[in-house]
Amino acid sequence: MNGWQEDAVPHRSERDGILAFIRIDVVYSRAIAERATTPDNSDINRMEEMMTRRYPQVMYTDSVKKTQEHYGTRRQNKRMEEMEWQDARLSAREADFIAQRDGFYMATVNDTGWPYLQFRGGPRGFLKVLDETTLAYADFRGNLQYISTGNLRHDNRTALFFMDYANRKRLKIAARADVFDMDERPELREQLITPGYKAQIERAFVFHVEAFDWNCPQHINPRFTEEEWETIGINGTRDYEAQIEALKTEIEQLRRGEVAVELAGFSA
Phi, psi of 36 (to 5 degrees): -65, -25
Q: Which residues contact 177 (CB under 8 A, 6 or more apart)?
A: 152, 156, 157, 158, 205, 206, 207, 208
Q: What is the pTM of this model?
A: 0.71
d(CA 61, CA 16): 22
- Three-class SS state of 48: coil
Q: Tell me which H or E stretch contains 257.
A: helix 240-267
pLDDT tens readout for residues 27-84: 555 555 555 555 454 444 444 455 679 999 999 999 999 999 999 999 999 998 998 8
Q: What is the pLDDT of residue 47?
A: 47
DSSP 6: T
pLDDT tens readout for residues 147-192: 999 999 999 999 999 999 999 999 999 999 999 998 888 888 888 9
Mean pLDDT of 76-100: 93
103-109 and 169-181 as β-strands: parallel, antiparallel, unpaired?
Answer: unpaired
Compute the C-alpha angle 251/254/258, nearest 5°: 140
Q: What is the pLDDT of residue 185?
A: 87
pLDDT at 130 over 70: yes
pLDDT at 7 over 90: no
